[in-house]
Amino acid sequence: MHALNWRWLIALCLGLLALAAETAQAEYGDVVINNYSDKAGMRPAVFPHWFQRVRFRCNVCHADLEFKFKAGGNDIDMVKIIDGKYCGACHNGDIAWGVENCNLCHSGKPGTPTQVHDSTLQKLGGAKDAKAADAKAAKK
């Protein structure tokens, strides 16, 4: 396929994502990040883990960018992202879209807590039980 056709396809996909962002919600396995969003009047950010995983090996984010292996384990905020940390290492307008495209990330259902959406752990014991177990383990 010619480079022009690929560019057209990518532009079409990004356009469709932007249109869908208003109603987008997390799907199974997505990481919902709502550390500060609700308080700032923004929708929670939705990180499509599977989408990133098919493109990059685990160490790109979890070793090189120091993301912890736990939803909510990082204190991510927009200042850090703009400074090139966490998501901002790639979402800088050069490698991937930049921070001016708010709705591409901030597409979660308001009020959704930071979590791995519909995880097996949630279904077995609920997110609150999982957080309580994590807090108990951290004290030990």
CATH number of domain containing 106: 3.90.10.10
Position 6 in a domain: no
- Taking all residues of the chain, what is their mean pLDDT, rounded to a whole number? 78
Enclosing domain of residue 100: 24-139
Percentages helix, strand, coil for the chain (3-state, rounded to 5) are: 45, 5, 45
Q: Answer yes or no: are the C-beta atoms of 114 and 71 closer than 8 Å.
A: yes
Location of structure tokens 């249109």: 19
Give the residue with greater pLDDT, 115 vs 121: 115
Count of the separate structural domains present in the chain? 1
Does position 120 have pLDDT exceeding 70, yes or no? no
Position 52 in a domain: yes
Burial of 50 (0-12, 13-18, 19+ CB in 10 A): exposed
Q: 60-106: per-residue pLDDT in tens?
A: 988 899 899 888 899 999 999 999 999 999 999 999 999 999 999 99
Q: Answer yes or no: are the C-beta atoms of 81 and 99 closer than 8 Å.
A: yes
Among residues 71, 67, 70, which one has the least CA distance to residue 80?
67
Position 12 in a domain: no
Position 11 in a domain: no
Q: Answer yes or no: are the C-beta atoms of 81 and 87 closer than 8 Å.
A: yes
Position 125 in a domain: yes
Position 60 in a domain: yes
Per-residue pLDDT, 98: 93
